[in-house]
Copies of this chain bind each other. A is one copy, B any other.
Amino acid sequence: MPYVNIKLTREAQPITAEQKAAIIKGVTDLLVDVIDRGPATTVVVIDEIDTDNYGVGGETITVRRSQNK
C-alpha cells in the first residue's frame, strides 16, 4: 500500500524508461524487504523537474551545474 513520490531533475542525459522501471521496482522491493508492506498496491510516481525549477542551497540546479557543484 505505500505511496512513493520521487522528484528528479530532467538533465541533458535523460533518465531512460529502463532506469525508471528499475527505480519503481527497487523502491517497491525495498518496502517489502524492510517493513513487509505492499507490493500489490504500492504506487510510485516519478516527477522530472527542469533544472531551472529545482533549487538546492538557494541556487537552481542550472546554476550549480555551471559551477560543477
Residue numbers of A with Cβ under 8 A of B are 1-9, 15, 17, 19-31, 33-35, 37-49, 52-63
A31 to B7, CA, bound (A): 11
A31 to B4, CA, bound (A): 13
A27 to B30, CA, bound (A): 8
* Among candidates B35, B40, B58, residue contacting A28 with C-beta atoms closer than 8 Å: B58
* 11 further interface pairs, Cβ-Cβ under 8 Å (given A20-B60, A43-B56, A46-B49): A1-B8, A1-B54, A1-B56, A2-B8, A15-B35, A21-B60, A23-B35, A25-B59, A45-B49, A45-B55, A47-B47
A58 to B34, CA, bound (A): 15
